[in-house]
Amino acid sequence: MINPPTNILNQTFYKPMLIRIPKVLQINVQLLLYKQDYITLKCRNMSNTSKFISRINCSQGKVPFLIGVAGGTASGKSTVCKKIMEKLGQVEMEHAQRRVVCISQDSFYRELSPAEITKAEKGQFNFDHPSAFNEKLMEDTLKDILAGRKCEIPTYDYKNHTLKRDDLVTIYPADVVLFEGILVFYFPAIRSLFHMKLFVDTDSDTRLARRVMRDITERGRDLDQVLNQYINFVKPAFEEFCSPTKKFADVIIPRGADNTVAIDLIVQHIREFLSNRYRRDQQTSPVENVTRLATNLGTIENSVKRPH
């Protein structure tokens, strides 16, 4: 074990970081992380080591490919995203290890006042209006994601019309992020953040039938309430706020999740992006850089024998 220099500072590696460590280092770090959640490296040269840590956290030179997925209510947005995740083999992976993640705009509904909650319980609150969303939180969160920062977002309770802040979903740094919702293209500042924009286009009769089934079976609504809400709020809001944003889409997906050809083409594009990024990572992490990093390490709290 190397004796530590006097001017050392600590840097900590957690298990989720493992997949972001250059391959030549993975075997040694993996041995250290095998039976514990993290290790602490005491580093002499914080300038070089900080750059290394930044690469691990995707905060330098690895901006996630942000894809916006818009469309009317029950058009199949979340199903399209799920199929993309499935075809890329991401669904069964641990959240911290996923290279592709999906976020719903529903997590950014603003907090309702008691009077608004009463209206919502009667089906008299317009959840399809832009004012129903917390635009600033949405924008700030997406910017954090683009900066490679880990984020925690609440889940929305559709039955009680509240955000479950005790049930946070952790979004780890990823290579590709899918952000889906009815109005993800409506806000200009948010729309400008997307690298690709998809619009899931499904006919209104199909969307209404799906919404009726979903709201009754999954969200505890009665038929009259669902139909009244659709006629008074959902349909007018779609025509005024959602449908016009179709013009911003790079790709329009007719028939939603049933359009397997369109989904396969999108998956192919994402695969090419991930493949190109992997090749770039390999080129920017040469062995000599790892050797230089090793000279900056003072001590490793938990030492292991190097495999032969």
Question: pTM for the complete prediction?
Answer: 0.72
Phi-psi region of 113 (alpha: psi -120 to 50; beta: other; left: phi over 0): beta
- Count the Cβ atoms, other than its own, within 10 Å of residue 46: 14
List, in sequence order, every residue forming a beta bridge with 180; answer none if it has no partner.
69, 104
Q: What are phi and psi of 196, to 5 degrees?
A: -145, 140
Nearest to 199 by CA among 155, 249, 239, 153: 249
What pLDDT score was predicted for residue 127? Answer: 96
CA gap 199, 185 in Å, rounded = 9
Same domain assignment for residues 20 and 88 = no
Q: Reduced to 3 states, what is the DSSP secondary structure of residue 272?
A: helix
Q: How many CB atoms are closer than 10 A to CB 14?
A: 13
Give yes or no for residue 289 having a pLDDT over 90: no
What Å distances lie between residue 3 and 6, 7, 8, 150, 291, CA to CA? Answer: 9, 12, 11, 34, 18
Looking at the fold, whether 49 and 79 belong to one and the same domain comes out as no
In the block, residue with structure tokens 């956290």: 57
Mean pLDDT of 19-42: 44
Report pLDDT digits (tens) over 199-211. 999 999 999 999 9
Per the domain annotation, does 207 fall within a domain? yes
* 59/69 Cα distance (integer angstroms): 24
The predicted pLDDT at position 6 comes to 42
pLDDT-derived band at 284 (thresholds 50, 70, 90) equals: low
Cβ 59 vs Cβ 148: under 8 Å = yes
303 has a pLDDT exceeding 60: no
Structural domain boundaries, residue 137: 65-258
Residue 102 — pLDDT band, cuts 50, 70, 90? very high
Question: Do residues 15 and 159 share a domain?
Answer: no
> CA 9, CA 45: separation in Å to the nearest integer?
9
Q: How far apart, in Å, are the Cα atoms of 129 and each of 23, 110, 125, 228?
A: 47, 12, 9, 16
Residue 22 or 251, more confident: 251
CATH number for position 168: 3.40.50.300
- The DSSP code for 202 is -
Shared-domain flag, residues 24 and 85:
no
Task: Enter the tokens of residue 224.
Answer: 């009259």
Closest of 41, 40, 24, 38 to residue 306, by C-alpha: 24
Residue 236 resides in a domain: yes
Which is more confidently placed, 31 or 257?
Answer: 257
Highest mean pLDDT among 94-103, 132-141, 213-222, 295-304: 132-141
Q: Which of 120, 95, 118 is nearest to 109 (CA)?
A: 120
Q: Do residues 48 and 112 share a domain?
A: no
> Within this chain, do residues 246 and 188 fall inside the same structural domain, yes or no?
yes
The pLDDT tens digits of the residues spanning 105-114 come to: 999 999 999 9
* 260-283 helix and 77-87 helix, angle to the nearest 10 degrees: 50
